Amino acid sequence: MKLLIVESPAKTKTISKYLPEGYVVRASIGHVRDLPKSNKKAIDIEAGFLPHYEIIKGKEKIISEMKSDSQKAEQVILATDPDREGEAIAWHLIEALDLNGEKNSKVKRITFNEITEPAVNEALKHPREIDFDLVKAQEARRVLDRLVGYDLSGLIWKKVRYGLSAGRVQSPALRIIMEREREIRAFISEDYWVITGEFETKNGKKIILICDEQPKNEKAANRIIEIAQENNWEIRGISQTETKRSPRPPFITATLQQTASSRLGFSPSRTMAIAQKLYEQGLITYMRTDSFNLSKEALPQIYKTVEKDFGKNYLLPRIYFSKSKNAQEAHEAIRPASAVKKSAGANEEQKKLYKLIWERTIASQMADAKILRTKVSANIVKASSSKLQVSGDIPDFSANGSVIIFPGWLAADAASRGENVELPQVLKGDSLKLSDISSEGKQTEPPDRYTEAGLIKELEKRGIGRPSTYATIIKTIQDRGYVVKEGKTLKSTDTGEVVSDFLEKSFAKYINDSFTAEMENELDEIAEGKRKYEKMLGDFYGPFSKDVREKEKTAGKITDLGEADKKIKCPVCGGPMVIKLSRAGKFLSCKKFPECSGARKIDGSIIEGPKETGEICPACRQAGRNEKDIGKLIEREGKFGKFVACSNYPKCRFIKKSAEEEAKSKTGIKCPKCEGEIVERRGRFGAFYSCSNYPKCDFIMKARPTGNICKLCGSLMMQGTKTISERCLNKSCLNYNPHKK
């Protein structure tokens, strides 16, 4: 028996179909070992940054089963993903399954960029050993991120607020968003006027012309309108230019995330999750790549598809090269496994993303689109107004049109076409009749905030992060509460601004573009065998840890974020106020705090202090406390508005709810640990579900229970996502990710 191990259960089904008898396919379900949560025993710095790995909680059963299979197998084939992460997982499997020493001779590593029968069988013909340079590169990234994250986060806890965090790559991303936010705040709008004229040609056709210049004031705009109305008009010029639009390269990770965001509205993490499903079904090639290459096996099929679907004159074979010096050209771009298959996927989301990939791949090997661009300009014939000076000409009025004369690659990628704008047929010198003219006052606008697609493009341009990290970076800064999504744009929160300002002032060197990009280059050099793991980490961590220790001593605690507007006074004592940061964001506090507790919201409105309701806390009474220790119910104002809670908080966490809220929070489902009921609660990261007997019972779950019981392990089932209607509470159960079974 031969044992073949992959990462995902979904892959086992696809790959099993392509293997001959005698193979058993098992899934590790991602990583099997990781650094412990406690940093004290995670990394032995003195021993050369030696990481201490532990089996991930919940993976014990999977490891035990795979170890049993590996002992019976004559050969163990590790077929994890073809990148550093996959190489590291393969090595961790060797360690966890005790396949070192003499047993290592039966272990082989294979990789493939697509899960198709030819690709899998070809990979089986060329097994290799573990690439320890790739393993070390991934390990260096993991250790580096842990060291930076723990040291910076610990400092931010002390200097800003407990519970905040910083990271090697997330912090530069946050800085980029804050830089744009400062540009927007510093932007000063300017007035301008757009003048639009509606004309009629001598053939009776309507044409809209816009003034080429935009006056800075209404007086100048009115002058142009007056002169325009008092004169005859003629066509001054017609220019026609044939231009070409070339197709874009096939998708890499960054461009797939950008295009899926702008066209389909998918977040980067959602795009990668859908792409993962398509890959596991054998429908597309591996989705974490920065190479534009298309394999020599795939190209003939793409050429045939172009010729068959569009015609021979649409085919133009092309080779694309990455601008990144560190692009892994041995990998492939993201393409359909079969160019013949125009539509594929198990649901609408998968079909939409597959269609996007198919269109981009086919279009990349097609001829340029040819477009005829036309510009028509007009002006007054002569001056009949005394208001006109000798040099009193007005600017030209013009219109631009474009017509596709040969679609080329746009025939495959219709969403890139744009609209044809056809202008009426006119000749130079033709007269025009002015039907109507008007002006509209506008203001220049600040630069747009980054969208998720725009931020990925910026990170890629600056060399920050790699294909496998973009989605995680954006998800992390949102999960931390540093950035919120408003519509499609990313906006920094008060907390994000304070953290970014602190890091920029205290650790500017470590979060600037060049340093972050250089660290990525050094990790690439480890993967290529050009740089040593221990030296790279030592060169970085020595100076870094010294700077952190220095800032612990010299950097003051950021309690005040600056003086408030002098016009705003403390509502209690009438004194000056300062800006402070709470978990809910910025607010104004009396400068004399704690002597004076006066406070206002950041907009200057008063924050009302706690008010007694005259009721006794039922939770304190139920707990059997002495009369003097029983709390009173107090009305407070929090992040989500007013609420009534016990005065003994945090010792007593009782919150009084209205009858309507009480009914809404109940699920009617019994706690599996005790006799309590599972109820909805709200924490800093939103809603969650726990036992009504908390804190006596610590049962908790992140999604609302459905009331059903898992048929595989007997745990409660809970609500899933848009694509998974229901999933198991138990993370180690296959029904936790039923779509991967």
Q: What is the CA radius of gyration of the chain?
A: 32
Alpha carbon of 525 to those of 86, 220, 328, 518, 542: distances in Å? 18, 61, 12, 10, 20
Cα–Cα distance measured from residue 706 to residue 483, given in angstroms and rounded to the nearest whole number? 32
Which ranges in 290-422 belong to alpha helices (H)? Answer: 298-309, 348-363
Q: Which two tokens stand for residue 419?
A: 């609209």
**Which pLDDT score, from 0 to 100, does residue 545 have?**
92
The boundaries of the domain holding residue 422 are 191-246+370-443
On whether the pTM is more than 0.75, the answer is no
Cα–Cα distance measured from residue 501 to residue 482, given in angstroms and rounded to the nearest whole number? 12
Query: Is position 723 within any domain?
Result: yes
pLDDT tens digit sequence for 517-550: 888 889 989 999 999 999 999 999 999 999 999 9
CATH number of the domain where residue 509 is located: 1.10.460.10
Number of domains in the chain: 6
Query: CB under 8 Å to 167, separation ≥6 — which residues?
Result: 145, 148, 149, 152, 476
Query: Is position 671 within any domain?
Result: yes
Alpha carbon 9 to chain centroid distance?
Answer: 26
Same domain, 433 and 510: no
**Which pLDDT score, from 0 to 100, does residue 684 have?**
62
Looking at 130, 156, 173, the residue that finishes a domain is: 130
Same domain, 360 and 260: yes
**Which pLDDT score, from 0 to 100, does residue 385 have?**
44
Query: Is position 170 within any domain?
Result: yes
Looking at 443, 468, 484, the residue that finishes a domain is: 443
**Which pLDDT score, from 0 to 100, does residue 391 have?**
36
**At residue 417, does pLDDT exceed 80?**
yes
pLDDT tens digit sequence for 482-499: 999 888 899 998 889 989
**Which pLDDT score, from 0 to 100, does residue 390 have?**
34
pLDDT tens digit sequence for 161-205: 787 888 888 899 999 999 999 999 999 999 999 999 999 998 899
**At residue 418, does pLDDT exceed 90?**
no
Query: Is position 672 within any domain?
Result: yes
Strand 611-616's sheet: what is its strand order? Answer: 611-616, 632-638, 641-646, 655-656
Residue pair 95/135 in contact by the 8 Å Cβ criterion: no
Query: Is position 569 within any domain?
Result: no
- Number of neighbouring beta carbons within 10 Å of residue 102: 7
Query: Is position 572 within any domain?
Result: no
Cα–Cα distance measured from residue 403 to residue 242, given in angstroms and rounded to the nearest whole number? 10
Q: How many Cα neighbours within 13 Å face the side chain of 6?
A: 20
**Which pLDDT score, from 0 to 100, does residue 303 have?**
96
**Which pLDDT score, from 0 to 100, does residue 52 have?**
94
**Which pLDDT score, from 0 to 100, does residue 427 have?**
92
**Which pLDDT score, from 0 to 100, does residue 301 have?**
95
Least reliable range by pLDDT among 134-148, 376-390, 521-535: 376-390
Catalytic positions are 286
Same domain, 151 and 93: no
Looking at 312, 347, 367, the residue that finishes a domain is: 367
**Which pLDDT score, from 0 to 100, does residue 237 have?**
93
**Is residue 239 within a helix (H) or strand (E), and if so which, with residue range?**
strand 233-245
Q: Which two tokens stand for residue 74?
A: 């004559």
- Judging by beta carbons within 10 Å of its beta carbon (0-12, 13-18, 19+), is residue 674 exposed, middle or buried? middle
Q: Which residues pair with 193 in a beta bridge?
A: 441
Mean per-residue pLDDT of the chain = 88
**At residue 741, does pLDDT exceed 70?**
no
Same domain, 351 and 395: no
Nearest CA-CA partner of 364 in 403, 313, 324, 306: 306
**At residue 40, does pLDDT exceed 50?**
yes
Same domain, 101 and 116: yes
